[in-house]
């Protein structure tokens, strides 16, 4: 008698479980919410829950004082069904594997949401870059690039700037990869200096995207931007650019918070002066003609639009009930927890999720990648026009899905993106 065949029992690793704390657990909960809308593609849903590849590397460097320090680095490729991996590299003392995995997955969703032909990836080093000299920072960047060089490349995985990384970091990464390959290869990273194949408009692209979809959402809500009060958390390349564009449209930026503190002015802050102050001093701290608030008071500011543009998990169940804004535009990646999402939805506050709101950066990164391959470069006006068109078209499609399914914009974005990812997976099939 032949024994009955049974399905093997598999133990799910803790880092793949939705109840596991951390950014990856938040992402898994977001996936759970979209599964009922996937139709026959739900067969492939585990594709979304498992990174394709995760690399942990040791990054040893010699410090200026002659001692050797070791840093832990990561590069995660979540999904490459629709194209090469694409996502930034961050240098931060709180970087973890859970965070980088989640960020890579959100990049998969983001790229599919705006329909650029990339998959999702992300990288990082657990380090406080402020503790390193310029020479130490360069040596660390180059060693990290060499270590992850086995999985990156212009047709494999294309890094870009993120928290505490910039054009100079990308120049070092491009040079290191090129030297190891034996030929100059500008397309291995985006966000480079323009003189090394970077794109015009890239520096402002994420903030411009935040502004563009924010205006579209406000129009649907009947919110007059020229009369809106705006509060911004984070005032760098994302929050600062978005703040400038909202201010130019007539909105009043009444509160700004960054690592240096929180400032407020009911009549509206002088945004150009504040940007100059931050460029000179590194934070909003010490800016004149503004009231200083305790950091926790930021969540109580009376505003119409709130833009969290700093780090993950800033809006939580503990502060979501205090937010007075009608519209939250997520400039940062993963700033709102699922519990806070539910609270905001119950209160009638519209959340424009990160996976569409801050996709302007990767959209112009795509433009840069295309320009590097063709060695033909576009004007900044052309780039901005293309960016605005793509962002508006993506938002319109997502808004319609939200209305048709009576779901939040986050779930609608995941519906659009996950269907595109899983359809590509289905068409490609499994090898071998």
Please report the DSSP string for 133-195 in residue order.
Answer: -HHHHHHHHHHHHHHHTTT-BTTTEEEEE-TT--HHHHHHHHHHHHHHHTS--GGG-SS--GG
Tell me the CA distances in angstroms from 134 to 63, 88, 129, 137, one per residue in order.
11, 20, 9, 5
Count of residues in the chain? 432
- Separation CA 169–CA 152 (nearest Å): 16
Pairing mode, if any, of strands 327-329 and 350-352? parallel
Here the tokens at position 264 are: 């407020």
- Within 13 Å and on the Cβ side, how many CA atoms surround 431? 4
| CB neighbours of residue 221 within 10 Å | 12
> What share of residues in the chain are helix, strand, coil (percent, to 5)?
50, 15, 35
> CB–CB of 56/95 below 8 Å?
no
Which residue in the block uniquely carries the two structure tokens 């015009």?
200
Q: Which of 31, 153, 75, 157 is nearest to 422 (CA)?
A: 31
Q: Which of 130, 120, 189 is nearest to 420 (CA)?
A: 120
Residue 334 burial class via C-beta count within 10 angstroms: exposed 0-12, middle 13-18, buried 19 and up? buried
Active site residue 130: no
- Separation CA 312–CA 327 (nearest Å): 18
Here the tokens at position 210 are: 């935040």
- Separation CA 1–CA 422 (nearest Å): 41
Q: Which of 29, 52, 86, 122 is catalytic?
A: 122
Q: Which residues are catalytic?
A: 122
């Amino acid at each position: 008698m032949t024994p009955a065949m049974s399905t093997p029992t598999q133990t799910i690793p803790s880092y793949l479980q939705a109840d596991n704390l951390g950014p990856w657990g938040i992402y898994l909960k977001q996936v759970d919410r979209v599964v009922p809308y996937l139709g026959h593609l739900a067969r492939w849903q585990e594709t979304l829950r498992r990174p394709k590849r995760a690399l942990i590397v040791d990054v040893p460097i010699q410090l200026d004082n002659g001692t050797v320090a070791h840093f832990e680095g990561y590069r995660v490729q979540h999904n490459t069904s629709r194209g090469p991996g694409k996502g930034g590299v961050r240098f931060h003392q709180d970087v973890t594997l859970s965070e980088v995995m989640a960020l890579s997955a959100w990049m998969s969703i983001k790229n599919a949401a705006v329909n650029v032909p990339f998959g999702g990836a992300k990288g990082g080093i657990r380090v406080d870059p402020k503790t390193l000299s310029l020479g130490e920072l360069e040596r660390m960047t180059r060693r990290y690039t060499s270590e992850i060089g086995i999985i990156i490349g212009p047709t494999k995985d294309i890094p870009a700037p993120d928290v505490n990384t910039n054009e100079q970091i990308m120049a070092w990464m491009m040079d290191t990869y090129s030297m190891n390959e034996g030929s100059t290869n500008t397309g291995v990273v985006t966000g480079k200096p323009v003189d090394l194949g970077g794109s015009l408009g890239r520096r402002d692209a994420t903030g411009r995207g935040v502004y563009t979809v924010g205006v579209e959402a406000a129009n649907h809500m009947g919110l007059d931007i020229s009369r809106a009060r705006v509060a911004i958390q984070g005032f760098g390349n994302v929050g600062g650019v978005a703040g400038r564009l909202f201010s130019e449209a007539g909105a009043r930026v009444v509160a700004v918070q960054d690592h240096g503190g929180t400032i407020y002015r009911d009549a509206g802050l002088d945004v150009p002066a504040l940007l100059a102050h931050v460029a000179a001093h590194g934070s909003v701290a010490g800016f004149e003609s503004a009231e200083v608030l305790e950091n926790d008071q930021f969540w109580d500011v009376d505003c119409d639009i709130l833009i969290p543009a700093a780090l993950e998990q800033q809006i939580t169940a503990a502060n979501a009930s205090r937010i007075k804004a009608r519209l939250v535009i997520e400039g940062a990646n993963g700033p709102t927890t699922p519990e806070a999402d539910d609270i905001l939805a119950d209160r009638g506050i519209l959340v424009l999720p990160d996976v569409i709101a801050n996709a302007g950066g990767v959209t112009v990164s795509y433009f840069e990648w295309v320009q590097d391959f063709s060695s033909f470069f576009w004007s900044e006006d052309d780039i901005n026009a293309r960016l605005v068109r793509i962002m508006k078209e993506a938002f319109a499609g997502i808004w319609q899905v939200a209305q048709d399914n009576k779901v939040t914009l986050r779930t609608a974005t995941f519906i659009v993106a996950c269907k595109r990812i899983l359809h590509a997976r289905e068409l490609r099939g499994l090898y071998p």
